[in-house]
A and B are shown apart, each in its own frame.
Chain A
Amino acid sequence: MRTKTDMLDVTSRKLAPYVLLFGCYLISYGHLSPGGGFQGGVVLASGLILPALGCRPQRREDLLSNYALNIGEALGFVAFFLIGVAGIATAGYFLADPFSQSDSPHAWFIFILNLAIGLKVGAGIGLLSLLLIRESLEDEDG
């Protein structure tokens, strides 16, 4: 039986918060610099995959819950959809900024859209990878 060493366990758990922080940075600066919802979301997901691969199995179950990720993914989708429909209701077309007076949307509107996309992508890719990892690690962990 292959076991995870202490070093791998500790490193992955200590490194993951910084990866998640970098993901949040990419999402929240998407309207000013290269980055945005999808890229930041993928980095968030890699912050979830890192402890899933490195930690001991029982710790992995404690740290990451499928239920929370499921809720996060659904919330992201619903938020994006509601913002889009709010555009139809106020300005007449999908994804219009409801509060903008001119043609171009506000920067904070793009920021909110990026948050919704980041939540959806991060939770979605994280969930997908976690399911695949669990499926393939079941034999190994017993």
Chain B
Amino acid sequence: MAKILIVGLFCIGLWGILAGRSLIRKIIGLTIFNSSLVVLFIISGRLDGTAAPLLTIPGEPLFVDPLPQALMLTAIVVGLSVTAVALILAVKLYRSCGTLDVREIEDCIHESEH
């Protein structure tokens, strides 16, 4: 079930980036793509056990692998900063051209050059 979710998110994200013509749609696609990999890492770390990786109780049963969680925390932070930069660029482009469509922005640039 989780595999279907991950593959689905992966394909939706990739399709959003490649086929979307709006800048915002591309950014949303990128975020969904990122989330699919986060889910992939977290689920693969959960295979060992289900307890939280905190050594509070002596003789704790198998707990989850903490490394993928730490890695994904970093990946989420990195993805957040990439999304912020992308959104700021999109806002600036929208301010100048009045549209979010990539092709119309390209036309707008061509017009302003001539």
Task: Say if the two chains contact directly (CB < 8 Å).
Answer: yes
Using CB atoms and an 8 Å cutoff, list the residues of chain A in contact with chain B. Answer: 32-34, 38, 125, 128, 132, 135-136
Using CB atoms and an 8 Å cutoff, list the residues of chain B in contact with chain A. Answer: 52, 54, 56, 73, 77, 80, 84, 87-88, 91
Give chain B residues whose Cβ lies under 8 Å from the Cβ of A128: 84
Give chain A residues whose Cβ lies under 8 Å from the Cβ of B77: 38
Query: Chain B's interface: helix, strand, loop or mixed, by majority?
Result: helix
Q: Do the beta carbons of A125 and B80 come within 8 Å of each other?
A: yes
8 A-B pairs with least C-beta separation: A128-B84, A135-B91, A34-B52, A132-B87, A136-B91, A38-B73, A132-B91, A38-B77
Give chain B residues whose Cβ lies under 8 Å from the Cβ of A136: 91
With A38-B73, A38-B77, A125-B80 known as contacts, the answer to whether A132 contacts B56 (CB < 8 A) is no
- Bound CA span A136–B94, Å: 10
- Bound CA span A132–B54, Å: 38
Name the one of B54, B80, B84 contacting A32, with C-beta atoms under 8 angstroms.
B54
Name the one of B54, B84, B88, B91 contacting A33, with C-beta atoms under 8 angstroms.
B54
12 further interface pairs, Cβ-Cβ under 8 Å (given A32-B54, A33-B52, A132-B91): A32-B56, A33-B54, A34-B52, A38-B73, A38-B77, A125-B80, A128-B84, A132-B84, A132-B87, A132-B88, A135-B91, A136-B91
* Interchain residue pairs with CB less than 8 A apart (15): A32-B54, A32-B56, A33-B52, A33-B54, A34-B52, A38-B73, A38-B77, A125-B80, A128-B84, A132-B84, A132-B87, A132-B88, A132-B91, A135-B91, A136-B91
